[in-house]
Chain A
Amino acid sequence: MKPVKLSELYVDAGKWSFSFPPRERAEETSHSLVRFGVMRPVLVIETGGGVELVAGCARVAHCRAHGIDEIWARVVDGSDATGLWELLLEDQLAEGAMNIVEVGLYISKRLAETGESLADGAKGFFQRLGLSPKEGAAREPLWVAGLELAHQRRFVEGELPEAGLRLLTEAPRADALTILNVTAGMTLGRNKFIETARWAMEGAWREKLDVAAWLKANDLNDIAEGETFRKAIWRLRFPQLSRWTDEFAADVTSLKLPGNVSISHSKGFEGGKLRLTTSFESVDELRETLEDIAESAEAGDLSPLEKYLG
């Protein structure tokens, strides 16, 4: 351990840093540094030309921002690449569990620097990252880590779900990126995002198009509001079902049912049955309602419903 002048410290965040905290956590860290100062030493390696920072970019940035010109550093062995990346992992995990972007960045940078393979990772450090000990476990973190920063940020902030990532990672990359790009800025919610993404891909694949071409062909590129976009996608994905849903609503309205009666269909019209619901405050009211409905049926007024039955 030794104090290091910031002016003498070489920083290459692109090579070493894999920290990508959500904004709230980054702010907490920043407040903590303001209140208590740098409590944890940064990690450095000694190179022929000086001292290179390998862990603690945020701490160094804080010191620079506050006019502090010296920081405590722990000098670690830079000659053993694998051992060094183990230390970096240990240092990061001291801050808490890593998110998917951090896991992806760590794996990609570690493999690039050490020459290890995914199989080595699976046998070695994957479990410490919270992954199962299989090569395929790195697929989703690496995919997210390869996205542009704005999309990485959406995953880290919880706007996009990690649970549905498989759908995106297994799709053609162009289709997945189209969906990420077109939904940027929309408020959809995580489950609805996955549902919408699935419908968009399936809708496009149904017509043997990629998602971008499908969206363009259907003039869906200019919709900015999430729910409007989702409903438009649903209509395209389920053209007959959506048409039936619209027609059913119009047909029920046209029946001019008593105010205490409603008619609904099952999910997807499955079963060929409809449900009639009524409320009543007396047995007499119920009897009158049922008689009204029976008269309507006998007069053929309910015939618009027949196509939904059986």
Chain B
Amino acid sequence: MTLPTPPFDRVVVDEEVSSAPFTLNLLGRIPTEMAVHSRVSGDPLPKGRTTLHITRESGSFLKKCPCTPGVLRCGYRVFTLGFQCPFGCTYCFLRFYAPDEPLTLYANLEDGAKEFETEARTWQKPVRVGTGEFTDSLALEPWTGHAGFIANLIRKYPNALMELKTKSALIEPVLAVDPPPNLLVAWSVNPQSRIDSDELLTASLSARLQAAKSAADAGMKVAFHFDPIFIEGDWQKDYGEVVEAIFDHVAPEMVAWISLGTLRFPKRFLDKWGTRLRKNPAYFNEFVLGPDGKLRYFWPMRREAYKFVSDCIKATGGGVVPVYLCMESRSMWGSGLGWRPDEEEVEILLSENC
């Protein structure tokens, strides 16, 4: 297979993981001319998003999704195999929390596997897990081979619904690993005009949907995340067209879930980045500070957006696709989706279509 050009220009390997199988595999896949540095304990940590840092995760790989205070949670777990994303979307929280962190990959995957298996054995009902919280799940797949690791890991645990969340179109490596039925690939989606302005390094919408079609055609369940929704310009038309494009590519029965979340960010994000974002008016819409310290669109704007997009999904997808809100209160669930579930009901909803 011909590998694409990597989104990093040097690799720093912590000495303690230099002989780990993951490290050796990865080093075998990078261009031979790429600089590889060894880092011993105590050396300064590498910086910059074009540096790939291979290190050891000394904490937990598997955690509850951090979510945000005061909202309805969905029972999601995050399985963190890396940190930082090569795409650098303008709205991404990583720009705020970790602007200068390197692309970080954890080489002690066997520790992650053990931790996952210990937990997964106890799951009596479906549990949704994802690797795309702190990085894009597939953006570095040509070098990481994570898809194969994940597929083999979850095959024995059908209650683990593992979601690989991406803005890439890299589906072939996933299809190549004989994906088990409990492995899903999910795409974050936005109108192409928004991708052009705020998701510059990601795959186009049509490439993402084509990848989703390939996955569904191969029998895989897929998912979509309208997150963040930008309430700008002719947004109803734009998002309505995205919904139609999704179901033009994928049958509703193959869609495990669709999430909705409007643009939101910590107030300090604008303090730090506001002046640099001044050419992008979308960041200066009517955002109101919520109790969790995040700025969100004025309540009735969000309410309208959730109603509109969920109605489009129901109308176009035939009402079979579970829709949920990300980081919103039960009140907004009630107002935007017409349903006020508790966390357990959300978990049941989201496993029904898998």
B351 within 8 A of A: no
Interchain CB contact under 8 A, A273 and B278: no
- Check B248 for interface membership: any CB of A closer than 8 A: no
Stretch at the interface among B41-49, B84-92, B117-125, B282-290: B282-290
Tell me if B299 is interfacial: C-beta within 8 Å of chain A. yes
Q: Are A241 and B288 in contact (CB under 8 A)?
A: yes
What residues on B are CB-neighbors of A272 within 8 Å?
Answer: 299, 303, 331-332, 334-335
CB atoms of A270 and B278 under 8 A apart: no
Residue from A205, A239, A240 within 8 A of B278 (CB atoms): A205
- Bound-complex Cα distance A205 to B301 (A): 20
Is the C-beta of B344 less than 8 angstroms from some C-beta in chain A? no
Given A201-B278, A205-B278, A310-B335, A270 and B284 contact (CB-CB distance below 8 Å): no
A267 to B332, CA, bound (A): 15
Contact residues in A for B291 (Cβ distance below 8 Å): 270
Q: Which of A266-305 contact B (CB under 8 A)?
A: 267-273
A238 to B298, CA, bound (A): 9
Among the listed B270, B289, B329, which residue makes an inter-chain contact with A271, where contact means beta carbons less than 8 Å apart? B329
A190-244, CB < 8 A from B: 198, 201-203, 205-208, 237-241, 244
Among the listed stretches A75-83, A123-131, A140-148, A164-172, which one makes contact with chain B, having 4 or more residues with CB under 8 Å of it?
Answer: A164-172
A206 touches B281 (CB 8 A): yes
Number of residue pairs spanning A and B whose beta carbons lie under 8 angstroms apart: 69
Task: Encode B272-307 as 1/0 by CB contact (under 8 A) with A.
Answer: 001110110100111011110000001111010000
**Secondary structure type dominating chain A contacts:** helix
Q: Once the chains bind, are A171 and B298 in contact (CB under 8 Å)? A: no
Report whether A268 and B299 are in contact in the complex, using a CB–CB cutoff of 8 Å.
Answer: yes
Instruction: Say if the beta carbon of B271 comes within 8 Å of chain A.
Output: yes
Which chain B residue has the least Cβ–Cβ distance from A202?
A: B284
Kindly name the residue among A166, A241, A244 whose own CB sees the greatest number of chain B CB atoms within 10 A: A241
B281 — nearest CB in chain A belongs to which residue?
A206
- Shortest distance between the CB of A271 and any CB in chain B (Å): 5
- Asked if residues A240 and B299 are in contact (CB atoms below 8 Å), the reply is no
Interface residue from A171, A201, A241 paired with B286 (Cβ < 8 Å): A241
Binding site for A on B (CB under 8 A): 270-271, 274-276, 278-279, 281, 284-286, 288-291, 298-301, 303, 329, 331-332, 334-335
